[in-house]
Amino acid sequence: MGVQGLCSLIEANNQIYQDVHFRDSRLVIDGFNLCYLMYFRSGLDQNHGGEYAAFEDLIGKFVKALKDCRIEPYVVLDGGTDYTAKKLDTLKESAKDRIRRAHAAAEEGGWGSILPPLAKKVFKQTLARLEVPVAQCFGEADREIAALASEWKCPVLSNDSDFYIFDLPAGLLPITHFQWEAGGRSGSWRESFIRCKSYTTSSFCTLFNIQPQVLPVFAALAGNDYVKLREVRLTSRWASSAPAGSRSAGRLKVLLRWLSGFQRPREAVEAALRLMGDLSRQREAEVLQGLSLGMEEYQLPPSYLRSFFTDGTVPPLLPEAVGLVPDWARLPLTQGRLTEDILDVLLLKRIGLGPMVDHGSLPSAYLTSRPLRQVMYGLLLGGGQSVRVEESDREDLRLSSCMVHPALRGVAQQLKLDSLDKAAHSLRLQVFLEALGVKPTHLNGLPPHLRLPVAVTRYWMRDASPSPDRSLLQALMLGLVTGETQRASAGSSALRPTKTHCSQKPDLDVAHAYNQWQACMMDSIHLNQLLGCPLPEPHIAWLYQGLLVHQLVDRLRRATKPAFLLNRNSTRNHGLVSGGEEKKTSAASR
């Protein structure tokens, strides 16, 4: 999450950047940082559950732009939450803020910057389809990204301000200045390149007259996720120039001027402690430990991912995970074929449920899919009344936690985590279908890739609250047919709604119903992955197109027949034809 205010400081001093024509290089990509920024800057829908087909198309164009310039992307993803809980307070504050923004987007419309529930799954799945090398870490990814880029001497692509502190030999390419859509050509061979800006710590240190070795002290004193110095009363001139809790670029500049007088990190830390006034020994030890931990975050270890990307060697587990994460799970976790939530459950017995655009007065959509998560918890942790998982979710507009018991019933009791990968396919399929309350006969005659979506939809129809009406089911199925039609015809360009609709507030009841469906879909995919995919994983991008499905519900509730809506001549730009055109098309079809 980086040093707050640092990006603003650097943008205000943009002479620090060097203009670059980037090509013919490896590139280490901060995966989820790119995923968030690409979705939010695209103008795609955030308030109706997501535009996944269009997002998949955008990712494909990005990868093609890189390959056209002979850039080799290596995408690194965050894994489980930091096991030391050093960032727990920061994560809670961030979750509270997202809950408020999600509610405001539901109530008033606008851009809340809430990533649709299945967007990360689409991101992973699309990269796998395009054969882009991906690694999912066993913890936070920043240090591994920096270590890999340092050893390969290639740049990092990210907007995380932590990368302004890491000493990267080939520098940082901020995503906001990475003009991959514009492209460019030069030279007699018309070589393609991407215009971008490059940042190096040497340029930063030169501009602000600070020693490179003191830069991690700056990050720690500025108040990153590990150091909460705003709780300490600072009496120095640099602190009194701006409020201690401020994250303004001005305060950072004052701090940099103060640090310019030090040659070594230890001197700066000792001086900072003296300027904090009279601290008790215990408090001084706590502050010193916080500073030390903050500075250590920028010391790069040997890269574990280098050998994974070059020869497939699976990285070692964190010491805390040894004995908790089974050997068979290490490779699929690193490949991103298992959700990172598994690590949180195994190591922390805790999981965070990301907010969706939903009205705060309505119950959390994740309540509907909780029984599915309980089966996953049971497979991971076993049964017993003493075992519980803390789920972090919202209650009204408050961040709340609930202790949830794992469920290990029926045939699932025959499975053991250590040997789960060796269990018979029929047994794993039975566990999955029992969790959803679906019989094998319900899936007869369906194409394999549609069996999981249909099973999930049956579960949703039975367990969602309130029970979905016919128009909600019909619209969902019509949307699925639309996606299937485009998938089967290998259409690379998804129909896009006009941007004027993307920030409108949704129908609250419709949005809540489909949020429950997406929660069920997401947790079913996670459970299916843990069981070794007894049902084929569906092509997620084509399952749900938010604006289309919401508009279909509106048409169906105004007595439009589903058969009419299926007529290919009656759909235009997701928006379905106007009333007059509808009559003409209906008459022609008769």
What percent of the chain has a predicted confidence (pLDDT) above 70? 87
pLDDT greater than 80 at residue 428: yes
pLDDT class for 187, splitting at 50, 70, 90? low
Which CATH number covers residue 158? Answer: 3.40.50.1010
pLDDT tens, residue by residue, 290-326: 888 888 889 999 999 999 999 999 998 888 888 899 9
The two tokens of residue 544 are 């749900």
The two tokens of residue 68 are 């056209």
Distance CA 522, CA 52 (A): 14
Domain termination residue (choose one: 208, 227, 243): 208
* Mean pLDDT for the stretch of residues 513-529: 98
Tokens 């609930």 sit at which residue?
402
Distance CA 119, CA 545 (A): 12
The two tokens of residue 44 are 């795609």
pLDDT at residue 228, as a whole number: 54
Domain that includes residue 500, residue range: 349-559
pLDDT tens, residue by residue, 136-146: 999 889 999 99
pLDDT tens, residue by residue, 459-481: 999 999 999 999 999 999 999 88
Distance CA 503, CA 547 (A): 11
pLDDT at residue 82, as a whole number: 74
What single-letter DSSP state applies at residue 191?
E
What is the total residue count of the chain?
590
pLDDT greater than 60 at residue 377: yes
- From the list 162, 165, 149, the residue with the least C-alpha distance to 75 is 149
Q: Which helix (H) or strand (E) holds 20?
A: strand 18-22
What percent of the chain has a predicted confidence (pLDDT) above 90? 68
pLDDT at residue 451, as a whole number: 96
Number of H helices, E strands in the chain: 24, 12
pLDDT greater than 90 at residue 101: yes
pLDDT greater than 70 at residue 583: no
Q: Which helix (H) or strand (E) holds 395?
A: strand 389-395
C-alpha distances out from residue 29 to 26, 71, 150, 208, 461, Å: 10, 11, 13, 27, 40
Domain presence at residue 219:
no
Distance CA 562, CA 16 (A): 58
Domain presence at residue 382:
yes
Q: Say which range, 34-43, 92-101, 233-242, 270-279, has the weakest mean pLDDT.
A: 233-242
Contact 496, 43 (CB under 8 A): no
* Mean pLDDT for the stretch of residues 143-168: 96
Domain presence at residue 102:
yes
Distance CA 10, CA 150 (A): 22
Distance CA 402, CA 340 (A): 20
pLDDT class for 369, splitting at 50, 70, 90? very high
Average pLDDT, the chain: 87
Q: Which amino acid is at 127?
A: L
**Residue ranges of E strands in 239-388:** 350-352
Distance CA 55, CA 41 (A): 11
pLDDT class for 5, splitting at 50, 70, 90? confident
Produce one character per residue of 370-390: b if its CB has 16 or more CB atoms within 10 Å, e if not: bbbbbbbbbbbbeeeeebebe
Q: Where does residue 504 rank: exposed (0-12), middle (13-18), buried (19+ CB within 10 A)?
A: middle
Domain termination residue (choose one: 151, 182, 208): 208
What separation, in Å, do the N-terminal and C-terminal C-alpha atoms of the chain show?
A: 59
pLDDT greater than 50 at residue 579: no
Query: For the chain, how many structural domains are there in total?
Result: 2
Domain presence at residue 154:
yes
Domain presence at residue 74:
yes
Contact 96, 153 (CB under 8 A): no
What single-letter DSSP state applies at residue 538?
P
Distance CA 321, CA 342 (A): 11
Contact 369, 523 (CB under 8 A): yes
Domain presence at residue 432:
yes
pLDDT class for 493, splitting at 50, 70, 90? very low
pLDDT class for 213, splitting at 50, 70, 90? very high
pLDDT class for 225, splitting at 50, 70, 90? low
pLDDT at residue 209, as a whole number: 94
Residues 6+ apart with CB under 8 A from 230: 223, 244, 245
pLDDT class for 230, splitting at 50, 70, 90? very low
pLDDT tens, residue by residue, 430-455: 999 999 999 999 999 999 999 999 99
Domain presence at residue 166:
yes
pLDDT greater than 60 at residue 167: yes
Domain presence at residue 14:
yes
* Phi and psi, residue 144, nearest 5°: -70, -40
pLDDT class for 492, splitting at 50, 70, 90? very low
pLDDT at residue 190, as a whole number: 64
> Structure pTM?
0.90
Q: Where does residue 84 rank: exposed (0-12), middle (13-18), buried (19+ CB within 10 A)?
A: exposed
Q: Which amino acid is at 26?
A: R
Question: What residues form DSSP beta bridges with 351?
Answer: 391
pLDDT at residue 314, as a whole number: 93
pLDDT class for 61, splitting at 50, 70, 90? very high
pLDDT tens, residue by residue, 237-286: 555 544 444 446 778 888 899 899 899 999 988 888 887 777 778 887 87
The two tokens of residue 396 are 């009204």
Domain termination residue (choose one: 156, 180, 208): 208
Tokens 């803020």 sit at which residue?
97
3-state SS assignment for residue 384: coil
pLDDT at residue 131, as a whole number: 97
